[in-house]
Amino acid sequence: MIYGNTSLTSFDVLVIGSGAGGGPIAYLCTKHGMKVLVLEAGPNHYQYLDDPSRDPVSVFSNDELKLAHRSFIDQNILVDPRTWRNSESDGDRLLVAGVQSLPKTVGGGAIHADLKMPRFAPTDFQFGTLIGKQYPDATFADWPVTYDMLEPFYTYAEWALGVQGIAGSDPTEGPRSKPFPMPPGVPMYAAVKLGEGLSKLGYTIFPFPTAVNSRPYDGRPACVDCGFCSGYPCPSNAKGSPAVTMLRKALLSGNCQLQSETRVTKLLVNGAKNSITGVQALGPDGKPTTFTADRYVLAASPIEDARLLFLSDTAGLGNSSGMVGRNLMFHYQTGAIGVFPERIHGHRGRVVTHGFTDFRGAPNDPNRPLGGIVEVSGSEMLIDETQYMKRIFDVFGFDGVRFKSALRQGAFRDHVVALALQAEDAPQASNRVDLDPAVRDLDGTPAPRITYKNHAFELNARKHYEPLLLNVLGASGAKFAAIGPPDDIPASAHIMGTLRMGADPTTSVCDPTGRFHDIGNLYAADGALFPTSSGYNPTMTIIALSCYVAGGIVSPGSPEQALT
């Protein structure tokens, strides 16, 4: 399907992907008069997204069965598989699975995220200098942009999306040029309980910066705290996902065209392989077609970006450094669960309203290893709770009467508080994306293969902070607490690296503006550019960095001029 200005036939910029990376590119470029074509592999589930006379209407709904269990927007591994191994010594693959899957749909993964939006701390951009020599088997590197360079773009993104929060409430936050556009919404009761425990221990809880309206903002309503936030697109558009903010405004500008269900399968290049001449794609009817523009932007997620470069050239297009697909990072999450005697009502309200950064740690402090921000969260939805409860009852052989009684009491939904530590991953050249030699998707295209193994850097951080997480739950009144087992395959949905940006073309794929060193009219504009992963949720930095890349396209040499 085609949306926006359907009469456009020539384009200044072609963007592959419509999510947190692609939406900002389309918005800023169209705002400055450029003609933009956005190609999205997935379908569009928003009615009236390009209609100025009506608000967008989604078909998502608050439906746990449809969204969480029937893969309404998630990748289906039967037709769109990925493969996994820990190292090359495992052979071609260990298994075929849904490895770090993100929705393929207009708006991308940002529509189902609960859009927690902390900024990275200033020191997070300097880990090559600060800690790189301590980990010679990792590839820590300084970012070619600093916090101060990105700060105007952080601010711009916060106001474009609508982010709630309190400036200065996070002790690790860097300086900011403007406050948040709106105050925090209603806190979860779980956050109130945890706040008491954290205060006893000398820690600081604060409202989590979140792109969810706490009051009407930019023509969208305030959140009603329905509880369906993480893993669920917002049916009322209170969530400021790029689809209903930046992408919609691009479509309404008259300078943008969006084609959904159009999957790019190859980048076409000139003979010297230093310029993109077009892209090949499969349209909704399955027939191949070709699109052209002056500039091209990869924003389909770090895994899919790298996959496309290998599909375009077996050695990896733009890969003179040998770094395409490498330095893949996922946040190493540590979960702690506390059971409280009173009802916590964790299934009500936004999934996360508060967090704390006392476990982020500090560079070169052995008593405070580099972990990450901690989310204070609620419990599972009804179907998930039923599945967990059944597994427990099966182990003990309890009967159906007691099973039903336990469900009525809501043991998980009403009595559990979860803490999630978003610990930083060490970048490693051996953690990478390439193409599986045998596994194909429904169209016969080679599937992406993920090779990934955790580094001692994040494993040691987990070991250090596990007892401290339990202490927080105990101090807050939990009667029982436990650390959840690590995922066999990380499921953070935080995907970074594969097209590292840097000044040196021998150790990076893209230059400090996001443009490929080897290809003059090809850019990346999503988490693929990250040299390091930080210990904070990455979405705000993905969007700010995408705005920065767009600024460089619009105003070369002075990207901040694009914000005026």
Please say if the pLDDT value at position 459 is more than 90. yes
Q: Which of 205, 493, 478 is nearest to 337 (CA)?
A: 478
Summarised one tens digit per residue, pLDDT across range 172-203 is 999 999 999 999 999 999 999 999 999 999 99
**pLDDT score, position 88:** 96
Same domain for 358 and 459? yes
CB-facing half-sphere around the CA of 533: CA atoms within 13 A = 33
Please say if the pLDDT value at position 82 is more than 90. yes
b/e sequence 184-198, b meaning 16+ C-beta within 10 Å: bbebbbbbebbbebb
Count of structural domains within the chain: 2
Percent of the chain surpassing pLDDT 90:
82
Same domain for 363 and 505? no
Check which CATH number belongs to the domain holding 559 and give it: 3.50.50.60
Same domain for 83 and 197? no
Same domain for 288 and 194? no
Taking residues 316-333, report their average pLDDT: 97
Taking residues 375-394, report their average pLDDT: 76
Same domain for 351 and 386? yes
Please say if the pLDDT value at position 506 is more than 90. yes
Residue 373 located in a structural domain = yes
Give the integer Cα–Cα distance in Å for 265 and 447: 12
Same domain for 222 and 358? yes
**pLDDT score, position 412:** 73
Q: Which of 530, 556, 561, 554 is nearest to 20 (CA)?
A: 530
Same domain for 16 and 45? yes
Q: Which of 538, 526, 556 is nearest to 18 (CA)?
A: 526
Same domain for 325 and 201? no
From residue 203, alpha-carbon distances to 196, 422, 465, 472 in Å are 10, 17, 14, 9
**pLDDT score, position 380:** 67
**pLDDT score, position 271:** 94
Assign 368 a pLDDT band (cuts: 50, 70, 90).
very high
Give the integer Cα–Cα distance in Å for 399 and 404: 9
Summarised one tens digit per residue, pLDDT across range 86-125 is 999 999 999 998 899 888 999 999 998 999 999 999 999 9
Same domain for 227 and 359? yes
Residue 219 located in a structural domain = yes
Residue 120 located in a structural domain = no
Least confident of 4-8, 349-353, 356-360: 349-353
Q: Which of 522, 4, 551, 2 is nearest to 294 (CA)?
A: 522
Q: Which three-class secondary structure state does DSSP give residue 510?
A: strand
Q: How many helices (H) and strands (E) does the chain have?
A: 12, 23
**pLDDT score, position 395:** 66
Q: Which three-class secondary structure state does DSSP give residue 471?
A: helix
CB-facing half-sphere around the CA of 100: CA atoms within 13 A = 24
Q: Domain range holding 322?
A: 1-55+68-113+241-330+430-449+496-527+537-564
Please say if the pLDDT value at position 62 is more than 90. no
Whether 506 contacts 458, CB under 8 Å: no
Residue 24 located in a structural domain = yes
Taking residues 519-526, report their average pLDDT: 97
**pLDDT score, position 386:** 78
CA 148 to chain centroid, in Å, comes to 22
Give the integer Cα–Cα distance in Å for 208 and 353: 6
Residue 15 located in a structural domain = yes
Supply the mean pLDDT for the chain. 94
User: What are φ and ψ of residue 415, in 5° steps?
Assistant: -125, 0
Q: How many other CB atoms are there within 10 angstroms of residue 369's CB atom?
A: 21
**pLDDT score, position 348:** 81
Same domain for 267 and 386? no
Give the integer Cα–Cα distance in Å for 384 and 232: 14
Summarised one tens digit per residue, pLDDT across range 148-180 is 999 999 999 999 999 999 999 999 999 999 999
Residue 74 located in a structural domain = yes
Taking residues 298-314, report their average pLDDT: 97
Same domain for 360 and 407? yes
The residue behind tokens 């969530």 is: 239
Summarised one tens digit per residue, pLDDT across range 6-18 is 999 999 999 999 9
Summarised one tens digit per residue, pLDDT across range 334-345 is 999 898 999 888
Please say if the pLDDT value at position 413 is more than 80. no
Q: Which of 46, 63, 22 is nearest to 381 (CA)?
A: 63
Same domain for 232 and 378? yes
Residue 154 located in a structural domain = no
**pLDDT score, position 311:** 98
Residue 96 located in a structural domain = yes
Summarised one tens digit per residue, pLDDT across range 239-263 is 999 999 999 999 999 999 999 999 9
**pLDDT score, position 401:** 79
H or E element, residue 191: helix 189-200
